Amino acid sequence: MHTKNISELAAGLRAGEYSSVELTRHFLERIRRLDGGLNSFISVCEDAALAMARAADERLQRGGAGPLTGIPIAHKDIFCTQGLKTSCGSRMLDNFIAPYDATVVERLKRAGAVTLGKTNMDEFAMGSSNETSFYGPVRNPWDGDAVPGGSSGGSAAAVAARLTPAATGTDTGGSIRQPAALCGVTGLKPTYGRVSRYGMIAFASSLDQGGPMTASAADAALVLQAMAGFDERDSTSAEQPVPDYGAELEHDLAGLRIGLPREYFGEGLDAAVAESVEEAVGEYRRLGAEVVDISLPNTHLAVPAYYVVAPAECSSNLARFDGVRYGHRCEDPKNLEDLYKRSRAGGFGDEVKRRILIGTYALSAGYYDAYYLKAQRIRHLISDDFKHAFDRVDVIMGPTTPGTAFRIGERTDDPVSMYLSDIYTIAANLAGLPGISIPVAPVDGKPVGLQIIGNYFAEARLLNVAHKYQQVTDWHTKAPEGYL
């Protein structure tokens, strides 16, 4: 059952080949058996999952079932799930049982999806390797010594290992696309505002966006369909109507104009990865697309601007974790200052502390203009780069990451080299654009991701472009050895 795509699973449920309870048990059993070595889940909610599966089975019997009814799904542990631990990968929230569902969780529940559990992640989504999690690193199912990427590393690894048909992720600087690339799955970061952020624990509010992580673009379309849409509880969510993503999948690509930014193919890109990406672009040529060289001249400013904006917002967003109302609280605080200091010092890990410090500094009186305001101006420049590019092309393609999955521990002492693994993904967040990563030909047995960036609210186009490639290739159907 775990090799089937979501449409096939849904067809099987409808045809009565198996029930949702059986399907759910199958994936729960795989998690039990296979996740020990991966560590892709922080918590698994067997009882709740089976209860939801039973409800889905009734709905399948009764009628009114949708395409996700009875389909198991895992949520990144950044999404609040009522009655379930929502840790955000941090000791700070190790004891936090969310009293409400995030909008994304609520919508997927309403669609009938069955929550298997909560996936591992970099602490508060700050990291590109899943090594900053309080719950330990996740291993890449393609190579147990390699990282799965991050911060949605648990979701990517779980989907890659076929422990779940789908998972939710969040992407602030590449946290869906980068792990999707390193684990060989499909990961879509929608346009900022397409998916509600309500109940998604904030890292950098102006960049954070939730999205689906699945085996294929067709599956991503089904999951996004349920996730997307205006939410009155999130003022930054878009009031744009949500198109029928499934209906757009099959559009012919003849005449599609693809832009290749020369800045994405320069120094720092692994030659074999470049070759693999170019090969995929060749496939698009064969599908009738036209390939154009373009330039995004401010690309080199993306990482520095991001590492001002994201820490600045995080320094403020994480102020609520103060040991007063919930979360980690130090033993026997002597006074208020002691309570704050020891609760926060003990609750947060090093990377989170590093970013809080950077962000606090960047917002300080006397530095605000030089850092935060300047970074905001760079965001405008980067958005303008894309705007000009989209005057000439329909989508932009390039590598998702400069290389394949690196070894666990390899970059933990060198934050800057870690930060550079998001060099191609960050710009889309700064501009608020949608981007998808799909698996293309691997290098040395390790997955490689092709990133496709689209214009605002062009998710349907991205899914269509990704899907057409997946119809003529089979990289997305490959699962790592031992997980088939």
Partner 1 sequence: MQWETVIGLEIHAQLATKSKIFSGASTAYGAEPNTQACAVDLGLPGVLPVLNGEAVRMAVKFGLAIGAEIAPRSVFARKNYFYPDLPKGYQISQYELPVVGRGHVDIDLEDGSTKEIGVTRAHLEEDAGKSLHEDFHGMTGIDLNRAGTPLLEIVSEPDMRSAAEAVAYARKIHALVRYLEICDGNMQEGSFRCDANVSVRPRGQEAFGTRAELKNLNSFRFLERAINLEVERQIDIIESGGEVVQETRLYDADRNETRSMRTKEEANDYRYFPDPDLLPLEIGHAFIGEVMKELPELPDAKRLRFEKDYALNHRDALALTASRELADYYEAAVTASGDEPRLTANWVTGELAAALNRDALDISASPVCADMLGGLIKRIADQTISGKIAKQVFEAMWRGEGDADAIIEAKGLKQITDSGAIEKIVEEIVAANPAQVEQYRSGKEKIFGFFVGQVMKATKGKANPQQVNELLKKRLSS
Report the distance separating Cα 60 and Cα 242, nearest Å: 25
Cα torsion through 281, 286, 287, 290, rounded to 10: 60
For residue 257, the cross-strand partners are 290
CB of 189 to partner 1, least distance (A): 17
* Secondary element (H or E) of residue 221: helix 217-227
Question: Which of 365, 412, 103 has its CA nearest to residue 233?
Answer: 103
Pick the catalytic residue from 76, 109, 446, 468.
76
Report the distance separating Cα 45 and Cα 66, nearest Å: 23
Q: Which of residues 170 and 464 has its CB atom nearest to partner 1 in the complex? A: 170
What distance, in Å, lies between the first and last C-alpha atoms of the chain?
10
Tokens 């067997």 appear where?
Answer: 46
387 catalytic? Reply is no
CB of 324 to partner 1, least distance (A): 5
Cβ–Cβ under 8 Å, residues 217 and 463: yes
Question: Which of 330, 254, 299 has its CA nearest to residue 428?
Answer: 299
Preceding amide of 129 cis, omega within 30: no
Tokens 């994936």 appear where?
Answer: 27
Q: Which of residues 26 and 91 has its CB atom nearest to partner 1 in the complex? A: 91
- 3-class DSSP state of 44: strand
- 3-class DSSP state of 187: strand
- 3-class DSSP state of 100: coil
Q: Which of residues 431 and 438 has its CB atom nearest to partner 1 in the complex? A: 431
175 catalytic? Reply is yes
Report the distance separating Cα 190 and Cα 179, nearest Å: 16
Cβ–Cβ under 8 Å, residues 155 and 169: yes
CB of 191 to partner 1, least distance (A): 15
Q: What are phi and psi of 374, to 5 degrees?
A: -65, -45
CB of 55 to partner 1, least distance (A): 25
Q: Which of residues 101 and 131 has its CB atom nearest to partner 1 in the complex? A: 101
Q: Which two tokens stand for residue 280?
A: 């995929």
Cβ–Cβ under 8 Å, residues 74 and 115: yes
Q: Which of residues 326 and 483 has its CB atom nearest to partner 1 in the complex? A: 326
DSSP 408: T
Pick the catalytic residue from 128, 175, 237, 343.
175
* Beta-carbon-side half-sphere exposure of residue 311 (alpha carbons within 13 Å): 26
DSSP string, 14-42: HTTSS-HHHHHHHHHHHHHHHHHHH--EE
CB of 318 to partner 1, least distance (A): 8
Q: Which of residues 203 and 245 has its CB atom nearest to partner 1 in the complex? A: 203
Q: Which two tokens stand for residue 63?
A: 């009628």
CB of 376 to partner 1, least distance (A): 9
Q: Which of residues 93 and 440 has its CB atom nearest to partner 1 in the complex? A: 93
CB of 301 to partner 1, least distance (A): 20
Q: Which of residues 241 and 366 has its CB atom nearest to partner 1 in the complex? A: 366
Q: How far is CA 188 from the centre of its chain?
A: 7
Question: Which of 22, 35, 38, 33 has its CA nearest to residue 72?
Answer: 22
* Beta-carbon-side half-sphere exposure of residue 376 (alpha carbons within 13 Å): 10
- 3-class DSSP state of 425: coil
Pick the catalytic residue from 151, 237, 315, 343.
151
Cβ–Cβ under 8 Å, residues 258 and 443: no
Q: Which of residues 86 and 470 has its CB atom nearest to partner 1 in the complex? A: 86
Q: Which of residues 236 and 295 has its CB atom nearest to partner 1 in the complex? A: 236
196 catalytic? Reply is no
CB of 235 to partner 1, least distance (A): 5
Instruction: List residues binding partner 1 (CB under 8 A).
Output: 79-80, 86, 88, 93, 96, 98-100, 102, 197-202, 204-206, 232-236, 312-313, 315-316, 318-322, 324-326, 336, 340, 360, 363-365, 368, 372
Cβ–Cβ under 8 Å, residues 258 and 294: no
* Catalytic annotation, residues: 76, 151, 175
